[in-house]
Amino acid sequence: MDAFVDSSKRSIDLPFGCKDLADALANANREPDSRARWKLLSGLQGAERYLAGLLLTPAALLYLDISITPTPHRLQLAPLCGELCILLFVDGSDTVRLPCLRKFFHDAEISAAVDVMGSVSVTSATSARILIYPLPNVAPDAAELITRVLREGFALSEEAQLYVSLNEKTVA
């Protein structure tokens, strides 16, 4: 054991209740438990209106995370190389979802910036496909595309409840 590492202490950078990175990653796909950090959106139409308003100032957005409960999949928005992108984390064991999402973006004539395998959990053999696509520059178009991904790509119902967490730049 390394003399500089005390495995019984929790790092200040990890979420509460996690003593190591494996704990944090294992909890990443669970339903959000902190109502202060997560906003509940009821229905895909409400989600689209919320996203359209938020995306009016895309430069202020550092990231947005949409929890797709109860699935292990994740959807995030983040700026990459100066462009707002949608990041999709698709569970490797779901053989139907990945072709569906690829077909959706192909039909929308949007090419993937990234399409790679990645590890979701340090403690298990679970892997995910990570897909990154650029979003349209116009806020309503981007919000509609995200909502269509949730509806068509992840097969969510119109009444689906979504938890959203975001981080924005503070404007001085």
For 5-94, where are the E strands, in sequence order?
Answer: 39-42, 61-67, 74-80, 83-91
Residue 10: pLDDT band (50, 70, 90) is very low
3 phi-psi bin (left φ>0, alpha ψ -120 to 50, beta other): alpha
Whether the pLDDT of residue 4 is over 80: the answer is: no
Could you read off the pLDDT of 66-105 as tens digits, one per residue?
A: 988 777 888 999 988 888 999 999 888 888 999 999 999 9
42 phi-psi bin (left φ>0, alpha ψ -120 to 50, beta other): beta
**Phi, psi angle pair for 43, to nearest 5°:** 90, 150
Distance CA 122, CA 145 (A): 32
Sign of CA dihedral 30, 142, 92, 152: positive
Helix/strand/coil for 86: strand
Per the model's pLDDT, the better-predicted residue between 163 and 121 turns out to be 163
Residue-averaged pLDDT of the chain = 80
Mean pLDDT within 31-51: 78
Whether the pLDDT of residue 22 is over 50: the answer is: yes
Helix/strand/coil for 103: helix
Identify the architecture of domain 21-168 in CATH: 2-Layer Sandwich (3.30)
Q: In this structure, which amino acid lies at residue 99?
A: P
Chain-centroid distance of CA 154 in Å reads 12
Q: Model-level pTM greater than 0.85?
A: no
**Phi, psi angle pair for 49, to nearest 5°:** -65, -45
Q: Which of 10-19, 34-43, 108-117, 145-154 has the lowest mean pLDDT?
A: 10-19
Helix/strand/coil for 37: coil
Residue 122: pLDDT band (50, 70, 90) is very low
